[in-house]
Chains A and B, each alone.
Chain A
Amino acid sequence: MAEAQNAPVGSTTTGSIAVAAESTVATRMSAPPSYDVADFPVPHGREEEWRFTPLERLRGLHDGTAVATGNGVKVDVQAPEGVTVEAVGRDDARLGKAGIPVDRVAAQAYSAFEKASVVTVPKETVLTEPIRIAVHGEGGTAFGHQVIELGPFAEAVVVIDHTGDAVLAANVDYLLGDGAKLTVVSVQDWDDKAVHIAQHNALVGRDASFKSVVVTFGGDVVRLHPRVSYAGPGGEAELFGLYFTDRSQHQEHRLLVDHNVPHCKSNVVYKGALQGDDAHAVWIGDVLIEAAAEGTDTYEMNRNLVLTDGARVDSVPNLEIETGEIVGAGHASATGRFDDEQLFYLMARGIPEYEARRLVVRGFFAELVQQIGLPDIEERLIAKIEEELEASVG
């Protein structure tokens, strides 16, 4: 594989991969965070935060023309005993505690949702079963707000599944008390026409650990913006992502880890495979180490595997460091192609074409899938990857 290792900017292989120009975390946003949609001008597409996104395919989420319909999404929360699930209004103090909308669509979601859902795991409660949140699109337009709060030393796994067809804009807040452990798996397994834009805000308490697994397979446009900051020292965040971008799909993952307090860790690993004409994956990895954040240890990596011609990757890792007193900070981005020579080599050993592709893609994702640490999710992911391959190669 002709692998290009070129931090700090983008990554490239001949023809299909664009290299994005460098930009900084500080200049990335065109307006300051706000709950009010009116504080953000309607994007025209040349703004730093919108320049990769096909605005014309957002079905009006960005310009105020999208209106909630009755048949938006159906949300079903299955929570084990001890967990509380509430529907609250915009004035609830827990909303926005982990982060404020940073772009127009997130602010639109905040301005337009009807009731927010708050799931609470009380302090020192250790769940043995996951909390499952099924978000099923029923063809309409919806705005949502979900809060998941873990009290001090609580431990939980949350699996959020997105299926069906919808136009959805949402904010999801994760509040981790001191010493809490939260694993969130968010699966975007939408039908082909769905549009899903969401900002995820995690506030990691003192000595708490947050693990996020973002898995994006479906949709016409999926644009997720996971953001992490810390409420006290000793916090850890692991952000894993896996995407499989097919023909005509736009899948965008924009991450920000804000090291705002000392002695916290973060580790970001996102991997994606692409196949088919106009498959477009965007990965933005911003890490900010603020002046106060001494003892920070951070690493971020994005890898892409381009399986066919006609697919495009924009991968932009970006590290901004305001203090030299850190343990480590690194980033890497690489995009490689599965090319005809690799296929020939494998086939020349008797391996059929379909099997050869499967071998390469499974191998590519294997290490990441193993890091998830949840066997049933791992199995499901492997099965889903196989399904994706079958659908397009077969």
Chain B
Amino acid sequence: MATLEIRDLHVTVEADNATKEILKGVDLTVKQGETHAIMGPNGSGKSTLAYSLAGHPKYTITGGTVTLDGEDVLEMSVDERARAGLFLAMQYPVEVPGVSVSNFLRTSATATRGEAPKLRTWVKEVKEAMERLNMDPAFAERNVNEGFSGGEKKRHEILQLELLKPKVAILDETDSGLDVDALRVVSEGVNRVRETGEVGTLLITHYTRILRYIKPDHVHVFSGGRIVESGGAELADKLENEGYEAYTKGGASA
């Protein structure tokens, strides 16, 4: 069973000619089939965690370990991490001019699966996955994220999640900027992937709204660059009622 283990992870970023520590000792274990929600106020370092795990060059790991099934993730390049089974659904997916969605999806699937998918089954696979996400077939011929609405960008991220079938999926604020209908469609997509039991999900969010559609097994409160409290789904209810105030004042920054 695939397991992502994060141990005492410290991460810095360069900003305004100064080095700033964003992650200050993150410990977390995500197993295949589990869903962990990471919740926290803005600026707590949630997205830094997501991008550091994916290997974004902006972030420097200064301490700790990350392993996927015992393999050292931090030693891997960005593409190696993806091929090892890590997937990051981005909060702000990037436009890639000149590259069509269909070409991009096929190239990604070829890279992560280690061989080109058979054309006939692949076309069907993509078509069906797009239908499930209420995506117009014409979408496949557009350039990646170019001119996409916020909802289209997120659907496209979840489409990739469904097609690439990672071991561990990190969803970075996938719910932000979505109206209720789009949130439902996207959440259903995530749930389909979760129901296979093949993926460990790390759901990073600021709001509890998405947790009405995607039920987490574990909820972690993130503040000041680390996890300050962990619990079950009931912790999300507490946050819904009380907000992050208790974590941002005093205790969490100690």
Interface residues of A (CB under 8 A from B): 1, 3, 305, 336, 340-342, 344-353, 355, 359-366
| Known interface pairs A342-B94, A359-B104; A348-B99 also in contact (CB < 8 Å) | no
Taking a contact as CB atoms under 8 Å apart, the answer to whether A350 and B111 are in contact is yes
Interface status of B97 (Cβ within 8 A of chain A): yes
Give 1 or 0 for each of B153-187: 1 = CB within 8 Å of chain A CB.
00000001000100000000000000000000000
Give complex CA distance A389, B235 in Å.
52
Main SS at interface, chain A: helix
A367 nearest in chain B by CB position: B98
Taking a contact as CB atoms under 8 Å apart, the answer to whether B96 and A360 are in contact is yes
Taking a contact as CB atoms under 8 Å apart, the answer to whether B103 and A352 are in contact is no
| Known interface pairs A340-B57, A363-B103; A351-B98 also in contact (CB < 8 Å) | no
Taking a contact as CB atoms under 8 Å apart, the answer to whether B99 and A351 are in contact is no
B112 nearest in chain A by CB position: A350
Q: Which residues of the partner chain A approach B56 to less than 8 Å between Cβ atoms? A: 344
Give complex CA distance A228, B95 in Å.
37
Give complex CA distance A353, B95 in Å.
17
Q: Which of B92-146 contact A (CB under 8 A)?
A: 93-100, 103-104, 107-108, 111-112, 143-144
Taking a contact as CB atoms under 8 Å apart, the answer to whether A351 and B97 are in contact is no
Taking a contact as CB atoms under 8 Å apart, the answer to whether A364 and B94 are in contact is no
Q: Which residues of the partner chain B approach A305 to less than 8 Å between Cβ atoms? A: 97-98
Taking a contact as CB atoms under 8 Å apart, the answer to whether A349 and B112 are in contact is yes
Taking a contact as CB atoms under 8 Å apart, the answer to whether A349 and B97 are in contact is no
Give complex CA distance A361, B103 in Å.
13
Name the distance in Å between A129's Cβ and chain B's nearest Cβ: 33
Interface status of B88 (Cβ within 8 A of chain A): yes
Give complex CA distance A305, B99 in Å.
13
Name the distance in Å between B193's Cβ and chain A's nearest Cβ: 16
Taking a contact as CB atoms under 8 Å apart, the answer to whether B99 and A349 are in contact is no
Give complex CA distance A360, B99 in Å.
6
Taking a contact as CB atoms under 8 Å apart, the answer to whether B79 and A350 are in contact is yes
A340 nearest in chain B by CB position: B57
Q: Which of B62-116 contact A (CB under 8 A)?
A: 77-79, 81-83, 87-88, 90, 93-100, 103-104, 107-108, 111-112
Give complex CA distance A359, B97 in Å.
10
Taking a contact as CB atoms under 8 Å apart, the answer to whether A1 and B111 are in contact is no
Taking a contact as CB atoms under 8 Å apart, the answer to whether B143 and A363 are in contact is yes
Taking a contact as CB atoms under 8 Å apart, the answer to whether A345 and B79 are in contact is no
- From the candidates B77, B83, B99, name the one contacting A363 in the complex (CB within 8 A): B99
Interface status of B38 (Cβ within 8 A of chain A): no
Give complex CA distance A366, B83 in Å.
28
Name the distance in Å between A298's Cβ and chain B's nearest Cβ: 25
Interface status of B4 (Cβ within 8 A of chain A): no
Name 9 extra pairs, CB < 8 A, besides A347-B79, A348-B87: A342-B95, A348-B81, A348-B90, A350-B164, A351-B107, A352-B111, A359-B104, A360-B98, A363-B96
Interface status of B54 (Cβ within 8 A of chain A): yes
Taking a contact as CB atoms under 8 Å apart, the answer to whether A345 and B94 are in contact is yes
Taking a contact as CB atoms under 8 Å apart, the answer to whether A345 and B96 are in contact is yes
Taking a contact as CB atoms under 8 Å apart, the answer to whether A351 and B93 are in contact is no
For B97, B112, B164, the residue with the greatest tally of chain A CB atoms inside 10 Å of its CB is B97
Name the distance in Å between B182's Cβ and chain A's nearest Cβ: 21
| Known interface pairs A359-B99, A364-B97; A344-B57 also in contact (CB < 8 Å) | yes
Q: Which 6 A-B pairs have the closest CB atoms?
A: A363-B98, A350-B111, A350-B82, A349-B108, A364-B98, A347-B78
Give complex CA distance A346, B107 in Å.
9
Q: Which residues of the partner chain A approach B95 to less than 8 Å between Cβ atoms? A: 1, 342
Name the distance in Å between A15's Cβ and chain B's nearest Cβ: 18
For A305, A342, A349, A355, the residue with the greatest tally of chain B CB atoms inside 10 Å of its CB is A349
- From the candidates A1, A345, A347, A363, name the one contacting B100 in the complex (CB within 8 A): A363
Taking a contact as CB atoms under 8 Å apart, the answer to whether B94 and A341 are in contact is yes
Q: Which residues of the partner chain B approach A362 to less than 8 Å between Cβ atoms? A: 98
What are 26 contact pairs spanning A and B, CB under 8 A? A1-B96, A1-B97, A342-B94, A342-B96, A344-B54, A345-B96, A346-B104, A347-B78, A347-B79, A347-B82, A348-B55, A348-B87, A349-B104, A349-B160, A349-B164, A350-B83, A350-B111, A350-B112, A355-B107, A360-B97, A360-B98, A361-B98, A362-B98, A363-B96, A363-B103, A364-B98
Give complex CA distance A148, B173 in Å.
62
